[in-house]
Amino acid sequence: MPSINADFSLKVVQHTTKMPFVVSPNPQVKRIMLDRVGDEIARATSIVRYEPGSTFERHTHGGGEEILVLEGTFSDELGHYPAGTYLRNPPQTDHAPFSETGCTLFVKLWQFGAGDEQPVRHNTLTNPWYPGMVRGLSVMPLHEFEGVSTALVRWAPHTIFNPHMHPGGEEILVLDGVFHDDHGSYPAGSWLRSPRGSKHAPYTEAEGATIYVKTGHLGARLLPLPDAS
């Protein structure tokens, strides 16, 4: 399988609502591949859709798995995870996932650092929000490990943030509303990956926005893929 958006020195913007799902090795599970380094075992970021009643055979995530449930209910033998659930399954954990109702997930594979071994389960519909650095900004921390931070950020309408740089890169998935910066406008479903050292001046207009944000990971030392030299 060819690599996808594998040059992490480049900015990438994908509008996932306009992209087709393609069948995975399991025909009940389809995906939109946003970035990918490797073959079927890959360092990858994807939107994944489980059809109603679909099941996936038990498997091990050698490099860990991060999931944000976007729609429906995702399940495995440990529980049921409705839309708004944030999950981290550490390296070498295994499970047999399924979805009775169908679901859509944002999934990141093989993007854990050595020693990041704590399972995480958050219900973002009930977790608290905290004031952000400027008026109109609210933050829900999801995970932090050795300089890699993951959070949800809620932007009230007409919020302006100071121009700033991301030394370790930044990744954004727009969950609702419209997110803007000095480079463009990004409606719900937009996925952005900005390289190390990138700069922008983000803001919102009348719609406001809620975004998933990860920073620091493009400069982090991640677990190597099995076939890495």
Q: 74 and 110, same structural domain?
A: yes
Residue 16 DSSP SS3: helix
Q: Is residue 147 part of a domain?
A: yes
Q: Does residue 223 contact residue 91 with C-beta atoms inside 8 Å?
A: yes
Summarize the confidence of residues 71-82 as an average pLDDT.
96
- Rounded to whole angstroms, the Cα distance separating 13 from 16 reads 9
Q: Is residue 1 part of a domain?
A: no
Residues 6+ apart with CB under 8 A from 175: 70, 152, 188, 209, 210, 211, 212
Q: Does residue 90 contact residue 112 with C-beta atoms inside 8 Å?
A: yes
Q: 87 and 189, same structural domain?
A: no
Q: Extract the tokens encoding 145.
A: 């490990």
- Rounded to whole angstroms, the Cα distance separating 226 from 229 reads 9
Number of domains in the chain: 2
- Span 151-195, pLDDT tens digits: 999 999 999 999 999 999 999 999 999 999 999 999 999 999 999
Q: What pLDDT is recorded for position 228?
A: 47
Q: Is residue 7 part of a domain?
A: no
- Burial of 102 (C-beta count, 10 Å sphere; 0-12/13-18/19+): middle
Where in the sequence is the domain holding 45, given as residue range(s)? 12-123
pLDDT mean across residues, the chain: 95
- Span 29-74, pLDDT tens digits: 999 999 999 887 899 999 999 999 999 889 999 999 999 999 999 9
